[in-house]
Structure 1
Amino acid sequence: MSRNDLRSQSLDLLRFPLAVVVLAIHTFSTEGFTMHGVEYSLDNMPVLLEINRFIDGFLRGQSVPIYFFISGFVFFLGIDLTKEKYIQKLKNRLKTLLIPYVIWNAVAVLWVLVRFLPCFSSLFPNIGKVQLDFSLPAILETFWNAKEGIFIYPIVADEVVNNSTYPQNVPLWFVRDLMIVVLCTPILYKVLQHTRHYFVAGLGVLWFTLAYWDLGHINQLLTAFFFFSWGSYMSVNKKDMMQEFSRFFKGSMIFYPLLALLFVASVHYFPDASDTIKRLNVFVGLFFAYNISAWLLTHRICKVSPFLASSSFFIYITHILIAGEFLKLLFFIFRPVTDWGMLSVYVSAVVVTVVFLLLIFYLLRRYTPSFLKIIAGRK
C-alpha cells in the first residue's frame, strides 16, 4: 500500500467509528430521560454515572474536530483554488451539505410537532408546556439557533445557561459551521499560502484560550476554523500527513489516554482544571485517532469498509431523531432496576440504533439511490 493510499484509507477508516462515537455520546447522557411524564435520573446510579464520565473523558468532543480536519484536508487536496474551482466546490457543497442540512432540520422540526398530536398526549405529557411560534423569524431561527425558534420551552430555575447555538437537529451544527468555513476558503487559501503554520497556530491559541469564556457561536466557529484550517494547511502546503503524524505516534498513545483519565479525575478533585485538560485531550485526540487508524491498516488488523464509510454521514445526521426513542423503548421492555441493568440498556440502545440506521441506509442505497443522494448528499 502506497503512502497516499494509506493516508486516504486511514481517513476513511475513521469516518464510521467517529459517527458511532457521536451517537454514543448523545445516547449516554448524565441528564437522564423522561418517559410517560416520569423523569429518570442517573444521580442514584453511581456506576453508570462514572461510566458516563469515562465516556466524556475518552470520547466526548473528539469526533467533530476530526471531521473538520478531514474536511479541510480533502477540500484542498491536489488542487489550486481558482475561481472556477471554487464555484465548482460550492455547487458540490450545495448538494452534499446545504440540501441535507435543510431536509434533516425540517424532519427534526416535524419530529417534535408530531408529539403535539392528541394521540401521543400520554407519551409526552410535558409537551403541553411548550409554546409554539410560527412566525417567519422563528422558523428561520430554528434552522440556525433552535433556542430562539419555533419551540419555546419553559425555563427551569437551575438550568445551566449555554450560549452555544444549535439548529433543531443538534449535530448539524457541524454542517452549518462547515458551510460557513467553506464560504471563506478563498481567503483561507491565500492566508495559508503566505503564513504557513503560523496562522493555524494562532487559531489554535485562540481556540484553546477562549474556551474559558462562554462566547456562544464564536467558540463553535473557532473549533471549525482551527481544525479545518489545520487540515487545509497540510493540503495547501503539500505536507506528508503520514510523516507529520507518525512522529507523534508514541506520544499520542501515551498522552491521549492519560489526559482522558486526568479529565475523569478532575471532575472529582479539581473541576476548575477540567476545561484545560479536555482541550488538550481533544487536540492530542486527532493525532491518536489518525495514528491508531494507520496502525490498524498497516498491521492488517482491519480494512476499510466502503459501505460503513459511506454510511457515516447518514448516521451522523439522522441518529439524534431515534436514539433517544430506542433508549426509552428498551427501558420500557426490560425495566432495569440496577446500575448494570441500566448500563446494558444504554449499550443496547447504541447497538440497536446503529444497526437500524445501517439497515435503512442499505435499503435506500439499494432501492432508491437517487433519493438517498438527495437527502444525504451522497450514495
Structure 2
Amino acid sequence: MEEIQFRNKIIWFTFFYSLLVIWVHSYNAVLFLGSTRLGYQMDWLERLLGNTASQIAVPGFFLISSYLFFRGFTIEKLLVKWKSRMKSVLVPYVVWNLLYYLGYVVGSRIPYLSEVIGKGKVPFSLSGAWDAVLNYTYNYVFWYLHQLILLILLAPLIYMMMKTWQLGCLFLGGIFAAIYMGGYLPFLNLDALLYYSFGAFAAIHGKQVAEGKWNRGRFYAGAALLAAAIFLYGFDFPGRLKGEMAASAVCFRLLTPTGLWLLAPEGLLIEAKDWMKQNFFLYAAHFAIVRLVNKTGALLLPSVPAIPFLLFLFMPVLCVVLSYQAGRLLRWLLPPLWQVVNGGR
C-alpha cells in the first residue's frame, strides 16, 4: 500500500482501539444498581463486551507501537528513536500522572466533588507525587505506557533477537512457552513482551505482508486468523499447566488484531478526520471522563437499568466529543502544553 494509506490505516486502527479501551473502563452497573442480582446481570452484559472483544485493544497498541519503532530500524538509529519516544511517551507519561495526582489532591478538597472522587482527602506531598509518577497510582490505565517505556528501553535486546528470523521465531516461542508455564518477569509483563516482540518481527521480516496491497488472499488470511483466535480463546491446552488459560487469552489477543489488519482494505478507509487523530490525548483523558460521568450519574440519576447500560454503550462517543473539544481549547489557549500532553503529535 502507499505510505499515505498506511498512515491513514494506522490512525483508523489506533482510533478503533481507543474506543475499545474506553469500554474496558466503563463498567457501571453495580455502581448504579448496587450489589443486586440485576446489578450483577447488567455487569455481566457490560463485561461481555469489555472483557472479551475489547481486550484486544492494548495488544493492538503494543503491536502498532512496536511496528512503527522497528520499521526501517537499524542499531545506528537507536538514539534517534529513543529521543523521539522520550518526547512522545516518557514526558507525557510523567506530566499526565502529575496532572491526575494534582486533580485528585484538589478535587478531594472540594465539597460534593470529593464525594464523587471517593478517596477521602488525598495528601499533597513530594512522596505522593513520586508514587503517582512511578506507580501510576491515580491513573491506572497508564500501566500500558509504563510497560511500553520498559519495552522501548529493551529495544536493542529485542532487535538482536529479531534480527534473524530463525532466532526471532525461537525467541517468540520461548516467550509463549514461559506464558504457558505460568512464568513471570519482574516489572515486565510476559504477554506485553510477546506482543511487542511480534510487532518487531513483523517490521523486520514481514513488511511486505503488513504493508502489502489488500487483495482476496489477505482477506482469507485475516479471516483464518480471526477464526483461529476465536477457537483458541476457549481452547483447553493439554497438560493443565498453571498458565494454560493465560496462553489461550494471549493467542486470542495476538491473532485478533493481526487478522483485523489483514481483513481491512486500506482503499475503503476514508481519510481520518481530525477528531480521530487525538488518540493519545483521548487515551490519557478518558479515564477521568469515565469516572466523573459514572460516579456523578450514580449520585444524581435514578437507579433504572437502562441508564447505566446506555451510558456504558455511548461512553466512547461522549469521551471522543469531550476530549476533542478539550484538545481544541488547549491547542488554542496553550499550544506548548498541548504539545506536551499530546506527546508532540
What's the TM-score, normalizing by structure 1? 0.75
Report the equivalent of 1:184.
154
Change (3 A) 1:284 1:3: same
Change (3 A) 1:324 1:96: same
Report the equivalent of 1:44.
38
CA distance in 2, matches of 1:324, 1:187: 38
Report the equivalent of 2:60.
66
2:133 is the counterpart of 1:143: yes
CA distance in 2, matches of 1:349, 1:307: 19
Q: CA offset at residue 75 of structure 1?
A: 0.7
Q: Is the 8 A contact 1:72 1:232 kept in 2?
A: yes
Change (3 A) 1:239 1:209: farther
2:250 is the counterpart of 1:279: yes
Q: Is the 8 A contact 1:42 1:48 kept in 2?
A: no
CA distance in 1, matches of 2:5, 2:158: 27
SS in 2 for 1:33: helix
Deviation sequence 1:258-292 (CA, Å, 0-9, x none) = 666x59xxxxxxxx986454333212222233134
Q: Is the 8 A contact 1:167 1:173 kept in 2?
A: no
Change (3 A) 1:109 1:89: same
Select 1:123's aligned residue among 115, 130, 134.
115
CA distance in 1, matches of 2:113, 2:286: 24
Deviates more, 1:344-353 or 1:59-68: 344-353
Report the equivalent of 2:294.
327
Change (3 A) 1:355 1:43: farther
Matches within 5 A, 1:1-379: 2=1, 6-28=5-27, 32-33=30-31, 40-41=34-35, 43-82=37-76, 85-117=77-109, 119-120=111-112, 123=115, 127-128=119-120, 132=123, 134=125, 136=127, 139-145=129-135, 166-194=136-164, 195-210=167-182, 218=187, 220-242=188-210, 248-257=221-230, 262=234, 275-292=246-263, 294-295=264-265, 297-298=266-267, 300=268, 302-332=269-299, 334-337=301-304, 339-366=305-332, 368-379=334-345
Q: Is the 8 A contact 1:69 1:227 kept in 2?
A: yes
Change (3 A) 1:42 1:283: farther
Deviation sequence 1:309-347 (CA, Å, 0-9, x none) = 42111110111112111123344554242x333312323
SS in 1 for 2:163: helix
Aligned AA (1:345): L
Q: Is the 8 A contact 2:17 2:57 kept in 1?
A: yes
Q: Is the 8 A contact 1:16 1:308 kept in 2?
A: no
CA distance in 1, matches of 2:154, 2:232: 33
Q: CA offset at residue 223 of structure 1?
A: 2.6
CA distance in 1, matches of 2:64, 2:307: 38
Deviation sequence 1:44-70 (CA, Å, 0-9, x none) = 335422312311453343111111111
Q: CA offset at residue 356 of structure 1?
A: 0.6
How many aligned residue pairs are there? 331
RMSD of aligned Cα (Å): 3.2
Change (3 A) 1:309 1:346: closer
Change (3 A) 1:246 1:9: farther
Q: CA offset at residue 182 of structure 1?
A: 1.2
SS in 1 for 2:73: coil
Q: Is the 8 A contact 1:25 1:59 kept in 2?
A: no
SS in 2 for 1:79: coil
Q: Is the 8 A contact 2:278 2:342 kept in 1?
A: no
Report the equivalent of 1:158.
none
Report the equivalent of 2:238.
none
Deviation sequence 1:209-249 (CA, Å, 0-9, x none) = 42xx7x5865x532332111111112223542346975632
Q: CA offset at residue 255 of structure 1?
A: 4.0
Report the equivalent of 2:239.
none
Q: CA offset at residue 305 of structure 1?
A: 0.8
CA distance in 1, matches of 2:302, 2:219: 47
Q: CA offset at residue 184 of structure 1?
A: 1.7
CA distance in 2, matches of 1:125, 1:222: 33
CA distance in 2, matches of 1:142, 1:319: 18
Deviates more, 1:344-353 or 1:228-237: 344-353
Aligned AA (1:286): P
Instruction: Give the unaligned 5+ runs of structure 2.
Output: 236-242
What's the TM-score, normalizing by structure 2? 0.82
